[in-house]
Amino acid sequence: MLADDRWAEPANRVEMVIKTEEARVPDCTSRARGQRPMDHPAGPQVGGPSRRPKSAASTGQIRIAGLTRRRGILRCAPFGFRARLHDMKHHEVIVVGAGVAGIYQIKRLADLGIDATVLEAGGDLGGTWQWNRYPGARFDSESYTYGYSFSRELLDEWHWKERFSGQPENLRYLNHVADKFGLRQYMQFNCRVDSAHYDEAQNLWRLRIDDGRTGDQRELSCRFLILTLGLLSIPTLPRLAGMESFKGQSFHTFDWPHEPVEMAGKRVAVIGTGATGIQVIGEIADKVGELTVFQRRPNWSAPLNNGPISDAEMADIRRRYDEIFASCARTPGGFEHEPDRRGFFEVTREERLALWDKLYDGPGFGIWLANFKEIFTDEKANSEFSEYIADRIRRRVKDPKVAEKLIPRDHGFGVQRVPLETRYFEAYNRPNVHLVDISETPLVSATETGLRTSERDYEFDIIVYATGFDAITGAFDKIDIQGVGGEKLADKWRTTISTFLGMMIHGFPNMLMPSGPQSGSASTNYPRGIETGVNWCTDLLEYMAAKGYTRAEATAGAEKRWTDHVTNMYAMMLMRKAKSWFTGYNSNVAGHEQGTIRYLVYNGGAPKYVNTINAVAAKGYEGVVLSADRGAPPSGSQPTVVV
Q: Provide the binding-site residues for ligand NA7, judged by CB under 6 A.
A: 232, 238, 271-277, 296-297, 417, 438, 443, 466-469, 581, 587-588
Extended beta strands in 185-232, E state: 187-188, 191-199, 204-211, 216-227
Least spacing, CB of residue 273 vs ligand NA7, in Å: 4
Distances (CA, A) of 364 to 209, 370, 603: 40, 10, 20
* Shortest Cβ 271–ligand NA7 spacing (Å): 5
Residue 321 CB, nearest distance to ligand NA7 (Å)? 24
Residues 6 or more apart in contact with residue 610 via CB below 8 angstroms: 11, 329, 520, 532
Q: Which is nearer to ligand NA7, 434 or 488 (CB)?
A: 434
Give the shortest CB-417-to-ligand NA7 separation in angstroms. 4
Tell the smallest beta-carbon distance from residue 471 to ligand NA7 (Å). Answer: 7
* Residue nearer to ligand NA7 on the CB measure, 221 or 301: 301
The DSSP symbol for 346 reads G
C-alpha closest to that of 211 among 186, 184, 192: 192
Instruction: Please state, in angstroms and rounded to a whole number, the distance separating the CA atoms of residues 379 and 573.
Output: 10
Paired residues of 208 in beta bridges:
195, 219
Q: In sequence order, what DSSP letters do the residues of 262-307 get, joined into one string?
A: --TT-EEEEE--SHHHHHHHHHHTTTSSEEEEEESS----EE----
Query: How far apart, in whole angstroms, are the C-alpha atoms of residue 291 and residue 424?
Result: 13
Cβ distance to ligand NA7 smaller for residue 271 or 575 = 271
Strand ranges for 228-266 from DSSP E:
249-252
Instruction: Between 372 and 526, name the residue whose CB sits nearer to ligand NA7.
Output: 526
State residue 374 phi and psi, 5-degree precision: -65, -20
Nearer to ligand NA7, 222 or 438 (CB): 438
Q: Tell me how far apart the alpha carbons of residues 633 and 359 are, in angstroms, rounded to a whole number.
A: 58
Of 473, 472, 497, 490, nearest to 567 (Cα)? Answer: 497
* Smallest gap from residue 453 Cβ to ligand NA7 (A): 11
Shortest spacing between CB 367 and ligand NA7, in angstroms: 15
Q: Which is nearer to ligand NA7, 181 or 469 (CB)?
A: 469
Q: Which is nearer to ligand NA7, 116 or 466 (CB)?
A: 466
Amino acid residing at 298: P
- Shortest Å distance, C-beta 592 to ligand NA7: 11
- Minimum CB separation of residue 252 from ligand NA7 in Å reads 9
* Closest approach of ligand NA7 to the CB of residue 526, in Å: 8
Local structure of residue 308 (DSSP, 8 states): B
CB nearer ligand NA7, residue 472 or residue 537: 472
Q: Give the residue with the Cβ less far from ligand NA7, 274 or 502.
A: 274
Contact present, 363 and 164 (Cβ < 8 Å): yes
Dist. CA 252–CA 363, nearest whole Å: 28
Residue 596 CA: distances (Å) to CA of 305, 417, 457, 577, 590: 35, 18, 33, 10, 12
CA distance 494 to 496: 6
Nearer Cβ to ligand NA7 (272/363): 272
Choose between 65 and 261: whose C-beta lies nearer to ligand NA7. 261
Distance CA 244, CA 448 (A): 8
Distance from C-alpha of 100 to C-alpha of 130, rounded to nearest angstrom: 10
User: Residue 453 forms beta bridges with which residues?
Assistant: 443
Q: In whole angstroms, how close is the CB of 247 to ligand NA7 at the nearest point?
A: 21
Work out whether strand 267-271 and strand 290-295 pair parallel, antiparallel, or are unpaired: parallel
CB of 232 to ligand NA7, least distance (A): 5
Q: Between 274 and 412, whose beta carbon lies closer to ligand NA7? A: 274
Q: Cβ(133)–Cβ(258) under 8 Å? A: yes
Nearest Cα to 38, choosing from 141, 208, 152, 159? 152
Residue nearest to ligand NA7 (CB): 274
